[in-house]
Amino acid sequence: MSEFEKKLKAQLEQMPPSIEPEKDLWVGIEHALNRAEDARYAPHQGTNDNEQGTESQSRPSVSSPNGEVRKKPTLTLVKRGNPMLSMAAAVAFVAVLGWFGFQQQAVTQAPTMASIVEQLEKQHIEQKQALLVSYQSSQPVTSDWQAQLSELDSAATAIKAALKEDPNNKALLHMLQQVYQQQLSLIETVYNPKWQAI
Map residue 70 onto helix, strand or coil: coil
Nearer to another protein, 42 or 69 (CB): 69
> Pick from 45, 103, 118, 120: which binds another protein (CB under 8 A)?
120
Q: Judge whether 117 and 106 are in contact, CB under 8 Å.
A: no
Could you count the other beta carbons within 10 Å of the beta carbon of residue 152? 23
- Coil, strand or helix at 145: helix
Q: 170-191 and 145-165 helices cross at what angle (nearest 10)?
A: 170
User: For another protein, which is the closer residue by CB, 8 or 96?
Assistant: 8
Contact in structure between 183 and 124 (CB atoms under 8 Å):
yes
* Residue among 20 and 51 whose Cβ is closer to another protein: 20
Nearer to another protein by C-beta: 26 or 100?
26
Binding to another protein by residue 59, rule CB under 8 A? Answer: yes
| Residue of 106, 125, 147, 161 that binds another protein (CB under 8 A) | 106
SS3 22: coil
Residue 62 sits in the site that holds another protein (CB under 8 A):
yes
Per CB under 8 A, does 52 bind another protein? no
Q: Which of 43, 46, 60, 101 binds another protein (CB under 8 A)?
A: 60
Instruction: Name every residue whose Cβ is closer than 8 Å to that of residue 94 and which is 6 or more positions away in sequence.
Output: 155, 158, 159, 161, 162, 172
Rounded distance between C-alpha atoms, residue 145 and residue 127, angstroms: 18
66 lines the binding site for another protein (CB under 8 A): yes
Nearer to another protein, 11 or 196 (CB): 11
Residue ranges binding another protein (CB under 8 A): 2-4, 7-8, 11-12, 14-23, 25-26, 28-30, 32-33, 55, 57-64, 66-72, 74, 105-106, 108-109, 116, 119-120, 123, 168, 170, 173-174, 177
